[in-house]
Structure 1
Amino acid sequence: TIVQNIHNRLLKGGTGFDHIIWITVSKESYLEKLQNDIGKKLDLDFRDDEDKLSRASKLLVALERRKRFIIILDDMWEAFPLENVGIPNPTRENGCKLLLTTRLRGVCRVMETQTNVKVSVLSRDESWDLFKEKVGEDVLRSTYIQLLAKDVARECD
């Protein structure tokens, strides 16, 4: 995916970020799960009986210790206040950046995103080219696989 590509480029370095945190939020994610996932990336351990507010406080302190970091929240279905999780509001001063992906424009609106990029569906030719690039020309020598692959590529329409 595009976000995976961005994440991989960030990991290669030279971006000015000291820490890169990628979390898949998904539809079933709850506040505690999100806090746990971010905490794991920061090597934080939360007690099972620890409440959301305490977790948020620990996350905030841990993140504010980082110099420059980016948090990627992938596949968001619901908006939430960053402070409820323990994520500082991104500012130039704190060096925090937040990248989120969602299918829902309302999530962007409530999260008060600064820049929105709409990603369109690939055309049939683009999806076919992407498929060929990923699997390699050798795989496509089989007529059966080629027909099956074209059916899959059509699903992008």
Structure 2
Amino acid sequence: MSFTPQQLRDADRRAREMGHPHTQLMTARHQAEGYRNFLASLTGLLTTVFVLKGQENLAKLSPGVRWTVIALLAAGFLALIVSSWLAVSAVHGRPGETLVLEATQILEYEVERTRRVWVLVEWARWLALVGVVCVAAAVLVTWVRPGG
């Protein structure tokens, strides 16, 4: 494939812009917003699925199965709540966080904040997976062991 000198200059300019700490921070926040929105939708969907498709009365289950389902649901929704909190924290940061308006400090903040956003989003992703697995397992247990 052959590129014109102008295409190469434009690509080089975009590469430099992408490497800038401010651009990386904006990209990280944008991706974190996507995860936050996904987690909110996922939590609502799972709640609906369990309410509509799960065992209507957990009291019908044997005590061991009932407590297993309750523990799975509690763990799953707790993981989803923490995951959502981390995603919101990644997007918005801490309330009242202030910046010193000095160039070096701003650049250092952008680099550190970008790193922090990636860490928070990674934790949010894994906790969301744990939450989904726990809620799905609880629903499956009620389907497989409806009488306990």
- Bigger radius of gyration among the two: 2
* TM-score, with structure 2 as normaliser: 0.20
* TM-score, with structure 1 as normaliser: 0.19
Richer in helix (by share):
2
Query: Which one has more relative contact order, counting CA pairs under 8 Å at least 6 apart?
Result: 2
